[in-house]
Chain A
Amino acid sequence: MRALFSLSVVAVVVLLTIAAVATSGGRFFVGTILPYAAIATFLVGMIYRVLHWARSPVPFKITTTCGQQRSLSWIKHDNLESPHNLWGVLGRMALEVLFFRSLFRNTKAELKDGPRLVYGDARWLWLGGLAFHWSFLVIFVRHFKFFVEPVPGWVSGIQELDGFFQIGLPIFYITDGILLAAITYLFFRRVVNPQLRYLSLAGDYFPLLLIGGLATSGVIMRHTSLRVDITDVKLLATGLISLDPVVPESLGAVFFVHLTMLSVLLLYFPFSKLVHMAGVFFSPTRNMSNNNREQRHINPWNYPVKVHTYEEWEDEFRDVMKAADMPLEKDVETK
């Protein structure tokens, strides 16, 4: 139901774009105004979001330790899973952000007759997530060729590597295939698994469908008869960056659908769960070192609370303590 709703929103985006580009005003809108609005919203929104988080302090050091602490010299310390210094934290974060370390740990628990819980490997989510994010990044970087002239060596390098297998003409990029496969997996995983379907919101299906549509329209533009003229795309892209936008005549509906989907993604980003892109760096359980007992952590809003002082306590129990011959601070004569 929520998946269908998300699908219809994506369909509406596509149809509205197709309708819009039939008019010259519409072409101008989706070719210039919408991308500018999207980029501005994305940048301002993400900065706002990050500042919003940063405004709240981290009152306590609540590292989740996933390995041995640093303690006695002869006990082997795991600085990546239970970091005690900055290097350990950087290493832990790098493993997390670049390789999804925590997801790699994933297991699947199954209840068998007995009753017996059995744990199996469950790295598909890790693999799907990693494949999706990395291919998205490579595709994003490949697009730099549209914005800069001359194309930097590292961008063409990545592009050549991506087309390494030289399948078809124009060469099919591996990452296009991986991205589409990964996103299909991630989508169907949500639909097929009853528990995931139960907990999924529309906001979980929508970005998958949107990015799926974005990738599909890109592949269509490259590999079908609806191919676009790359020089015209580059004209529009460089025009956008140099704040002197032009919308070339040759660009057709598929291109604008692609561009609009990207714009919608950027617009949607700061208001959705996609903010995890920035948020992952702020997570106190992961980005703090486990040296709680070694270095004092300050809570900026720490305030005094009502305690039961030793004096009050002894006043209350002095008689029984005296009778039990326990040491006292004040040996008051009892009545």
Chain B
Amino acid sequence: MAGAKPKPEKLSSVDYHPPSQSWMDVPPNVRPGTFNWAANPANAAYLDLPHVRKWQPTDEDWKLPDNWQQIVLEGLADRLQKYRSLKLFMDICVRCGACADKCHFFLGSGDPKNMPVLRAELLRSVYRRDFTTAGKILGKLAGARPLTPQVIKEWFLYFYQCTECRRCSVFCPYGIDTAEITMMGRELLNSIGLGIDWITTPAANCFRTGNHLGIQPHGFKDSLDFAVDELAEITGVRVEAPINRKGAEILFVSPSADYFASPHYYTLLGYLALFHEIGLDYTWSAYASEGGNFGLFHSSDMMKRLNAKIYAEARRLGVKWILGGECGHMWRVLHQYMDTMNGPADFLEEPVSPITGTKFDHARATKMVHICEFTSDLIANGKLKLEKSRNDNVRVTFHDSCNPARAMGLLDEPRYCIDHACNHFFEMPENTIREQTFCCGSGSGIGTDENFEMRMRGGFPRANAVKYVHEIHGVNMLACICAIDKATLPPLLEFWVPGVEVCGVHELIGNALVMKGEHRVSDLRGEPLPGQAGADGEGAADQPAEKEVSKDV
């Protein structure tokens, strides 16, 4: 990999002073720890991607195809025709700088090219030179520059140092969305064979098997069966996890990390307990076993190719509507793109909760409901018996995952669930939550080990806010509703704020949920369950109390 991992002391001194020369004269520095390895050629070929070859960002020569400039410029022209957003955002930025210190990568690295305005200028400078009169005539004076291999290296470095979190867009007076720029930049890079492996390989796996690790259908079934066994051991209640069951009322789609990764897995146990308790008529699908969409990080076409499975499977299974699990980008795609790309979903019915009768009329076109919407409706209608004290071992804060927050406006539903599942909830400072939430620093397919330094830098603002509530309120658990968060926040917090763990909202729900016929002495992680006055509950009840006292100092 990329050598020894840096220490927090090293990454915490950030120099915000830009170099003295013009940014156009500062060459990109492809240094270990700040970039991702190139796409594995076999997986790129499996997806029929263009210009598949062996290369690495550390190579001097990236072996660009002969007509690479033509491909990029024609690709840019094509996208300007297809996306008003791109055309507009190329023209109207006034470089006021309001976005500059809103990007977690800039705050954590001090690299001026991570200011969203300058990240976009990397593309705008080429646009000006080849698509505007002023740029053609005045050149560098008008902020224009020719497309050189160095520019391409710069694009590669900085478009893969953006997590498309859209925080900058909240503060921009024109709503310029750097994610749109980054997405186009990545499409152009991919058009000349410059993809990264932690996007291409998961995308190829999702395309082939249905999930990003490439687990085959029987492996998927094994995972769910194992979870059912484990839940039975913890709760004494044996639930069902039907797969590919035709005629179920609801198709449930979650990020595949939920069934192989930790701490996601505890959220999966939470879903299973919840669905059993309310007697939901639902099914999982092995074919559409991934909601997380690595195509979003690659290109519009790839996003559509991967997403197509969900509606196709809903149609095949004959379900009425689709419920979606805790995932960030998955929900961005489901909410903003899916119906447009792969709809209309006229073979489905408008979602109605079979338990409460609530009509989710805000989802009447796409027929997809977020699990936090679904569960908070169950709670509001008194359908769940939740024992909050069972989560008394945790002092929780909530990380608004970027996409549900800034691309859906799903802010209060998860909070409502948490409020009803635990006694100790504390908000982080207001500049760092809700629509102003900070990214984990590893989203959009750049959460790899070789990129470790940049991830820790990018995640620093998030961790800093967690550290605040950790110190003030003794917070020891960060709840979130995104699979990438659950994968990448634990190492981030271990690096910057040791002592805070990460969980899903439905893990908290699963712990608090009082199930009929249950016998529980441990929580979903297998640790003693607080607040249980059972035979062996005494010791369990003591332990968290001690914890709280020590944290409150």
A residues apposed to B, CB below 8 Å: 5, 49, 52-72, 74-76, 78, 81-82, 84, 96, 100, 102-103, 105-109, 111, 114-117, 119, 125, 129, 193-204, 271-273, 275-276, 279-280, 282-286, 290-299, 301-302, 305-310, 313-314, 316-317, 320-321, 323-324, 326-327, 329
Contacts and interface: CB of A to CB of B under 8 A. Distances in A.
Interface string B410-435: 11110010000000000001011011
Given A53-B87, A299-B341, A308-B309, A199 B23 contact: yes
B366 A59 contact: no
A172 B339 CA distance: 58
B409 interface: yes
B85 A58 contact: yes
Interface stretch (B168-176, B191-199, B472-480, B517-525): B168-176
Report which residue of B173, B218, B365, B413 has the largest number of chain A beta carbons within 10 angstroms of its beta carbon: B173
Contacts of A107: 101-102, 431, 436
Contacts of A285: 85, 169, 175-177
Contacts of B313: 310
B373 A71 contact: yes
B413 A275 contact: no
A79 B406 CA distance: 14
Contact of B286 (A84, A203, A321): A321
Given A102-B173, A296-B343, A321-B217, A199 B84 contact: no
B4 to A, nearest CB: 21
Contacts of A204: 94-95
B88 A279 contact: yes
A137 to B, nearest CB: 16
Contacts of A59: 82-83, 300, 340
A68 B132 CA distance: 39
B18 A283 contact: no
7 closest cross-chain pairs (CB), A and B: A69-B409, A65-B409, A279-B92, A324-B218, A285-B175, A82-B409, A286-B175
A199 B121 contact: yes
A75 B376 contact: yes
B221 interface: yes
B368 interface: yes
25 contacts: A56-B83, A59-B340, A60-B340, A65-B408, A71-B413, A72-B358, A114-B12, A129-B173, A195-B115, A201-B143, A202-B141, A204-B94, A293-B363, A296-B343, A297-B340, A301-B82, A305-B304, A306-B48, A308-B207, A310-B309, A316-B208, A317-B216, A317-B217, A323-B218, A324-B222
Nearest to B89: A283
A65 B309 contact: no
Nearest to B295: A305
Report which residue of A61, A106, A202, A272 has the largest number of chain B beta carbons within 10 angstroms of its beta carbon: A106
Contacts of B16: 111, 195
Interface in B334-349: 335-337, 339-341, 343-344
Contacts of B84: 53-54, 56-58, 282, 284
Interface residues of B, number: 118
A326 B97 contact: no
Contacts of A321: 217-218, 286
A72 B218 contact: no
Contact of A117 (B132, B341, B464): B464
Contact of B366 (A49, A72, A196, A292): A292
Contacts of A272: 134
Interface in B171-190: 171-177, 180
Contact of B362 (A116, A293, A296): A293
A297 B121 contact: no
Contacts of B429: 119
Contacts of A199: 23, 95, 97, 100, 112, 115, 117-118, 121
Which applies to chain A's interface (DSSP): helix, strand, loop or mixed? loop
B301 interface: yes
B112 A198 contact: yes
Contact of B210 (A64, A74, A195, A313): A313
B143 A308 contact: no
Interface in B356-380: 358, 360-366, 368, 373, 376-377, 380
Interface in B9-45: 12-14, 16-19, 23
A9 B36 CA distance: 45
B287 interface: yes
Nearest to B80: A56
Report which residue of A54, A62, A204, A309 has the largest number of chain B beta carbons within 10 angstroms of its beta carbon: A62
B216 A296 contact: no
Contacts of A283: 85, 88, 92, 174-176
Given A62-B180, A326-B286, A100 B412 contact: no
A71 B360 contact: yes
Interface string B68-85: 000000000000111111
B218 A105 contact: no
Given A57-B84, A299-B340, A273 B413 contact: no
Given A49-B91, A199-B95, A5 B431 contact: no
Contacts of A75: 376, 412-413, 416
A195 B100 contact: yes
B308 A305 contact: yes
Nearest to B121: A199
B142 A109 contact: no
A193 B218 CA distance: 59
B126 interface: no
B7 interface: no
Given A296-B343, A301-B82, 17 more contacts: A53-B91, A56-B82, A60-B337, A64-B177, A68-B411, A69-B409, A72-B373, A119-B429, A125-B98, A194-B18, A195-B97, A198-B23, A198-B118, A295-B365, A299-B341, A313-B287, A317-B209
Nearest to A111: B14
Contacts of B358: 72
Given A64-B166, A310-B287, A326-B286, A282 B88 contact: yes
Interface stretch (B238-246, B503-511, B535-543): B238-246
Contacts of B97: 125, 193, 195-196, 199
B366 A103 contact: no
A198 B18 contact: yes
A264 B337 CA distance: 44
B427 to A, nearest CB: 14
Contacts of B435: 65-67, 81
B45 to A, nearest CB: 14
Contacts of B484: none
A70 B93 CA distance: 30
B405 A276 contact: no
Contacts of B431: 107, 119
B150 interface: no
A71 B359 CA distance: 10
B437 to A, nearest CB: 11
A199 B287 CA distance: 48
A19 to B, nearest CB: 24
Contacts of A109: 101-102, 107, 461
A203 B91 CA distance: 12
Nearest to B91: A275
Contacts of A117: 107, 460-461, 464-465
Report which residue of A71, A96, A196, A298 has the largest number of chain B beta carbons within 10 angstroms of its beta carbon: A71
Interface in B237-268: 243-246
Nearest to A116: B464
B133 interface: yes
A247 B107 CA distance: 57
A196 B16 CA distance: 12
Contact of A296 (B117, B243, B344, B461): B344
Contacts of A203: 142-143
A195 B100 CA distance: 8
B407 interface: yes
Report which residue of A53, A84, A285 has the largest number of chain B beta carbons within 10 angstroms of its beta carbon: A285
